[in-house]
A = this chain, B = another copy of it.
Amino acid sequence: MFYYNSKDWLIAIFKVTKGDTVRALIPSLLFVSLLSWGIVQLEVNYLKLSESSQAKNITIMHTLLGFAISMLLVFRTNTAYDRWWEGRKLWGELVNNSRNLALKVKVFLPFEDQSTRTYFRQVIPLYAAALRRHLQKQSTILQLDESPHPELPDLDKGAHVPNRIAESIFYKVNSMYISGTISGDQLIVLNGELKSFTDICGACERIKNTPIPFSYSSFIKKFIFLYVATLPFGLALTLGYFTIPVTAFIFYALVSLELIAEEIEDPFGHDSNDLPMEKIAETIKANVAEIMS
């Protein structure tokens, strides 16, 4: 993720960055323009339809469905944004949680117990780092897929590293309780932070391995395709060669919304707008080190 100044309009409008939809869309835009050109040629020069031909009224269809497709795409973007923002919130909770656990452990431990201190200073940031790697593994993505994957023979064999680390932390805290290093009241006070690690991990896995229903996603793409592909039939007679830029612009606007949604709906990938998990893990490491030093 790159921090940007949202008030800088010139950069936003004219700089075409790596993740920009314009760049990804160049081939499709050329194709759509060619298609429009072909349809205009057909209607105007080949069939020589007059301006009063009924074909030009096809645009009524695009007007009637214009509300539906726009609304569907804007809601699509917002659903995707909600997933992205939920992912960010989960990693924010991981930061809070790591800090609170470090703070509590630090003050609960007797001053001379340096080895336990070192243990927590290392293992708390480790959880964030392991979670990041876990979320980017192929086996996490395909965890709930019901189709066979012969190309990944040991899909289910890998150990669940974040669970292993959580287990280690639980074990340590319970030993401290058994040995009397911390009291029962302090155990209760630590409970919230301990269980939160696993809750965050499970919620991130959910976002990662469950895209929006295929029928929803597939319908949106079919709808955009049919909508844009039929546009020139109606426009050719009223707009002539202006049909080409007009169709291209409408295509650009609609498809961009879908492309942005696709990019941000899985916030744990490697796209340029995905969450800076590595940076957050570093922040946790620095914070815990500062607290427990």
Contact = CB atoms under 8 A, between A and B. Distances in A.
Copies of this chain per assembly: 5
A107 interface: yes
B216 A145 contact: no
Contact of A160 (B7, B93, B198, B287): B287
B67 A1 contact: no
Counting chain B CB atoms within 10 Å of each CB, which of A69, A88, A177, A198 scores highest?
A198
- Chain B CB count within 10 A is highest, among A147, A159, A213, for A213
Contact of A92 (B54, B88, B203, B211): B203
A273 to B, nearest CB: 4
A129 interface: no
A65 B255 CA distance: 12
A46 interface: no
Contacts of A43: none
A110 to B, nearest CB: 10
Contacts of A250: 61, 64-65
A106 interface: yes
Nearest to A72: B74
Interface in A44-83: 54-55, 57-75, 77-79, 81
Given A22-B222, A215-B264, A216-B273, 19 more contacts: A2-B214, A12-B217, A13-B225, A17-B214, A20-B218, A55-B242, A58-B239, A67-B71, A68-B73, A69-B253, A95-B205, A99-B166, A99-B202, A103-B170, A167-B291, A177-B185, A184-B185, A187-B189, A223-B253
5 contacts: A19-B215, A60-B238, A68-B254, A81-B216, A219-B256
Interface of A: 1-4, 6-7, 9, 12-13, 17, 19-22, 54-55, 57-75, 77-79, 81, 84, 88-89, 92-93, 95-96, 99-100, 103-104, 106-108, 141-147, 156, 159-160, 163, 166-167, 170-171, 173-174, 177, 183-189, 191-193, 195, 198-199, 201-203, 205-206, 209-219, 221-223, 225-226, 230, 235, 238-240, 242, 246, 249-250, 253-254, 256-257, 260, 262-266, 272-273, 276, 279-280, 283, 286-287, 290-291
